[in-house]
Amino acid sequence: MVIRVFVASSSGSVAIKKRQQDVVRFLEANRIEFEEVDITMSEEKRQWMYKNIPEDRQPAQGNPLPPQIFSDDRYCGDYDGFFESKESNTVFSFLGLKPTLASKEDIAIGYWVAENMDDVEMVLLQEAGSYPKDMFRLMTCDWEEKGEQDVL
């Protein structure tokens, strides 16, 4: 599966440049493999991008602006969709990828379905990945004493 980000390297719009950089930097920082496709260098690639954005996602006027994101030939969305998925911690779903790190939702679910605290600790340690150390704190108990312990 190839994530392709369609960009315009020679855009005169500062807003478009910042949006493109935001997407590219996020993918790089999260080690998500992707291909950057410059639509200013190839009319064929620009037309492919325009043709493969679903009609209901096309702007009311004009052509869709970069960045536009695809997973293989499947349209994922534009910058607004990407930004919303980033804010809700659902970028992997947005991109059609299997998450490599646990989302907040995964950790919460893991906590509530665990049979005992050892299971909780194991789930959190395996799933927390590279979240900041102070983001998660685990209440541990061995049925006799309770204490707070850092997960990571």
pTM equals 0.66
DSSP 60: S
pLDDT at 100: 67
Q: In this structure, what token pair is assigned to residue 22?
A: 């935001």
- Provide φ and ψ at 103, rounded to 5°: -85, 170
Residues 109-150 pLDDT 10s = 444 444 444 444 544 444 444 444 444 444 444 444 444 454
Contact of 20 with 66, CB cutoff 8 Å: yes
104 CB-side CA count, 13 A: 10
Contact of 81 with 57, CB cutoff 8 Å: no
* CATH of 3-95 among 3.30.70.1290, 3.40.30.10, 2.60.120.10, 3.90.1150.10: 3.40.30.10
Residues 67-116 pLDDT 10s = 999 999 999 999 999 999 999 999 999 999 987 655 555 555 444 444 44
Q: In this structure, what token pair is assigned to residue 71?
A: 């997973």
The domain segmentation of the chain, as residue ranges, is 3-95, 104-150
pLDDT at 123: 47
Residues 18-68 pLDDT 10s = 999 999 999 999 999 999 999 999 999 999 999 999 999 999 999 999 999
